[in-house]
């Protein structure tokens, strides 16, 4: 079986994406996660380019990596300078990594117009740098920058740059599609020519400007590349780098090339979302394998088939990469959608029962009104319980009042007064907030936390408002989606109304009630008895 190494450059190339700025602490955390996942090489940065990367390598030296080798990155020596005194090369050595990657120009256009030097001097720069670093007992990878464009412009010279690196002792040369415009059929032809001239191992480093980064990486492996470069989530300059979250499972699951253990592969989705959270970029919901919607099913015919045999509409098992199947309930749904959705959430609703049809009809009516349950599993499950007469409200609202005041200082002041009843107990309280919904949330929690202490574990993590139909302007119907979580899980709820406060209230109440009801707390023994009774009657079948 072909051995392939994964070379992660999230900490350097990935940080060149617009909006990404990693602190040293961020880079350390990501490096530790990459090592746990099982990548072979972690490119930590370019120590000659900025103090942050120098500090990273200083601190990273104290991390006991178990699977990966840390790699420092730099350019070849500068034109006309001695390699022994070049500041970039000295900083590279000071990073004290056993493996180093240097990049050099392989496109004659860049040599003459960007570096402003001769073609011969560029070859000398490559040879001198590789030879010097090998003398310092380093494992040396040579990134042939712009190789494919260079080959198409002047194949003889592009190949000469690879031969110069190989002759000087490079352990591996990496063919780079730096501008990201390479087509797969071009890669195949060019790699065939490269293998005739270069006898040391080859790697591949491609960008995604033409949407071909994954395809080019995989084909390069088919053509003999033994090292694949990329970043988590495909982060990188312009359109990004090759996406390791897609490439790794493709290599392992589709091509049979063992890269990581089965347990490590199961952490791929968590790794993807961890990095996304750290760089403060919303995860790409439709990203292959690890995206939130990668295994989501909405069409009724699809869901019916998946409920019988997942392979009908899934190319891989979600759990293998740490993801999960999601059933989206909408106006396109059939009975199988409802039954499968509830099964995934712990309730097996028999699709032959007439109650299932009632649930489906009610969902379609609500979605026609503007509801959307695709991101609101909490509201969906509560709706099922209500339709099956298994729902008992945790409190009754007797009324609330909101005061929003713009003061002379310019500060906007919000206060909510609320009156709720729990059993025979009435609670009347008030709270402030940084906005009307926040004030309402604070007041409701203040009223209920003495009765339901577990509310303190539930926190709102996202709040989104969408105008459903803008024809009516400020009087249009709005949909509010709230995401909440506790120490164990997260869930979404939804509310719809022409009044944004009412829509927010509906989603907020669902959020808190779902968070309490499904935590199996003692307060809800009676509600669970009703649920068990319905299961016993066969109306809701236990999963």
| Parallel/antiparallel/unpaired status of strands 425-433 and 396-406 | unpaired
CA 74/CA 357 separation, integer angstroms = 64
Phi and psi at 70, nearest 5°, equal -80, 140
Local confidence band at 507 (pLDDT 50, 70, 90 cut-offs): very high
For the segment 363-389, what is each residue's pLDDT rounded down to a tens digit?
778 877 888 775 677 888 788 777 776
Q: How confident is the model at residue 534 (pLDDT cuts 50, 70, 90)?
A: very low
**Residue 206: strand pairing partners:** 177
Q: What is the pLDDT of residue 535?
A: 45
pLDDT at 526: 52
Q: Which of 96-100, 231-235, 454-458 has the lowest mean pLDDT?
A: 454-458
Is the pLDDT at 461 greater than 60? The verdict is yes
Per-residue model confidence (pLDDT) at position 278: 82
Are 480 and 375 in contact by the 8 Å Cβ rule? The answer is: no
- Residue 445: both structure tokens together: 């929690």
pTM for the predicted model, two decimal places:
0.69
Do residues 128 and 93 lie in contact, with contact meaning Cβ atoms separated by under 8 Å?
Answer: no
**Nearby residues of 328 by Cβ (< 8 Å), 6 or more positions away:** 296, 297, 298, 337, 373, 374
Please state the φ and ψ torsions of residue 440, each to the nearest 5 degrees. -65, -40
Q: How many residues does the chain have?
A: 543
Structure confidence at residue 542 (pLDDT): 37
CB neighbour list of residue 516: distance below 8 Å, 6 or more residues apart: 394, 452, 454, 455, 458, 523, 524
Contact 69, 98 (CB under 8 A): yes
Q: Are 477 and 506 in contact (CB under 8 A)?
A: no
Return the ∠ at Cα 33 (arms to 32 and 37), rounded to 5°. 120
The domains found in the chain, sorted by start residue, are 5-278 (3.20.20.70), 296-387 (no CATH)
Tokens 């415009």 — which residue?
Answer: 181
DSSP state of 203: E
Mean predicted confidence (pLDDT) in 400-420: 88
Span 283-296, average pLDDT? 88
Higher per-residue pLDDT: 510 or 423:
510
Estimate to the nearest angstrom the gap between the alpha carbon of 507 and the chain centroid: 26
Structure tokens at 428: 């009347």
**DSSP conformation letters of 165-208:** HHHTT-SEEEEEETTS---HHHHHHHHHHHHHH--S-EEEEEB-
Instruction: Tell how strand 541-542 and strand 99-105 pair up.
Output: unpaired
pLDDT at position 386 is: 79
Average pLDDT of the residues in 241-253: 98
- Identify which of 502, 13, 37, 531 has the alpha carbon closest to the alpha carbon of residue 268: 37
Nearest to 150 by CA among 130, 184, 188, 179: 179
Q: Which of 22-26, 94-98, 106-110, 120-124 has the lowest mean pLDDT?
A: 22-26
Q: How far apart are CA 474 and CA 479, in angstroms?
A: 13
Reply yes or no on whether the pLDDT at 219 is more than 60: yes
21 vs 163 pLDDT, higher one: 163
Residue 288 three-state SS = coil
């Amino acid at each position: 079986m072909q051995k392939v190494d994964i070379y992660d450059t999230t900490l350097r190339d990935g940080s060149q994406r617009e909006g990404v700025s990693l602190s040293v602490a961020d880079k350390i955390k990501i490096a530790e996660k990459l090592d746990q996942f099982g990548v072979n090489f972690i490119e930590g940065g370019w120590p000659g380019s900025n103090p942050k990367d120098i500090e990273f390598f200083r601190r990273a030296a104290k991390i006991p990596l178990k699977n990966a080798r840390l790699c420092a990155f730099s350019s070849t020596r500068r034109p006309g300078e001695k390699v022994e005194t070049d500041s970039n090369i000295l900083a590279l050595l000071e990073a004290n990594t056993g493996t180093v990657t240097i990049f050099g120009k392989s496109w004659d256009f860049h040599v003459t117009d960007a570096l402003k030097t001769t073609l011969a001097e560029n070859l000398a720069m490559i040879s001198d740098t590789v030879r010097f670093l090998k003398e310092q007992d380093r494992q040396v990878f040579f990134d042939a920058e712009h190789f494919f464009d260079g080959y198409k412009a002047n194949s003889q010279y592009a190949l000469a740059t690879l031969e110069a690196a190989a002759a000087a002792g490079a352990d591996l040369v990496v063919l780079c599609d730096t501008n990201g415009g390479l087509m797969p059929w071009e890669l195949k032809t060019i790699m065939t020519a490269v293998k005739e001239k270069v006898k040391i191992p080859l790697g591949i480093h491609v960008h995604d400007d033409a949407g071909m980064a994954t395809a080019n990486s995989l084909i390069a492996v088919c053509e003999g590349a033994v090292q694949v470069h990329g970043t988590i989530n495909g982060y990188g300059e312009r359109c990004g780098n090759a996406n390791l979250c897609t490439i790794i499972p493709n290599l392992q699951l589709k091509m049979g090339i063992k890269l990581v253990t089965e347990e490590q592969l199961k952490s791929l989705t968590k790794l993807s979302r961890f990095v996304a959270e750290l760089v403060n970029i919303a995860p790409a919901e439709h990203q292959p394998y690890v995206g939130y919607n990668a295994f989501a099913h909405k069409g009724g015919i699809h869901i019916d088939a998946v409920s019988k045999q997942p392979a009908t509409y899934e190319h891989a098992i979600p759990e293998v990469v740490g993801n999960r199947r999601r059933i989206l309930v909408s106006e396109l749904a059939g009975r199988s959608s409802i039954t499968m959705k509830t099964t995934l959430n712990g309730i097996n609703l028999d699709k032959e029962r007439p109650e299932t049809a009632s649930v489906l009809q009610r969902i379609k009516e609500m979605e026609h009104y503007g509801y959307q349950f695709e991101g609101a599993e909490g509201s969906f499950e509560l709706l099922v319980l209500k339709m099956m007469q298994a729902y008992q409200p945790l409190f009754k609202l007797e009324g609330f009042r909101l005061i929003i005041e713009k003061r002379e200082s310019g500060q906007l002041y919000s206060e909510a007064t609320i009156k709720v009843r729990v059993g025979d107990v009435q609670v009347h309280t008030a709270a402030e907030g940084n906005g009307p919904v926040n004030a309402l949330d604070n007041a409701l929690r203040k009223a209920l936390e003495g009765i339901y202490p577990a509310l303190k574990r539930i926190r709102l993590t996202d709040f989104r408002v969408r105008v459903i139909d803008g024809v009516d302007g400020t009087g249009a119907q709005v949909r509010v989606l709230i995401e909440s979580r506790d120490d164990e899980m997260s869930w979404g709820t939804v509310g719809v109304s022409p009044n944004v406060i009412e829509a927010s209230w509906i989603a907020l109440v669902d959020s808190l009630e779902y968070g309490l009801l499904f935590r199996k707390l003692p307060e809800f023994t009676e509600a669970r008895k009703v649920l068990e009774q319905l299961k016993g009657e066969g109306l809701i079948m236990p999963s």
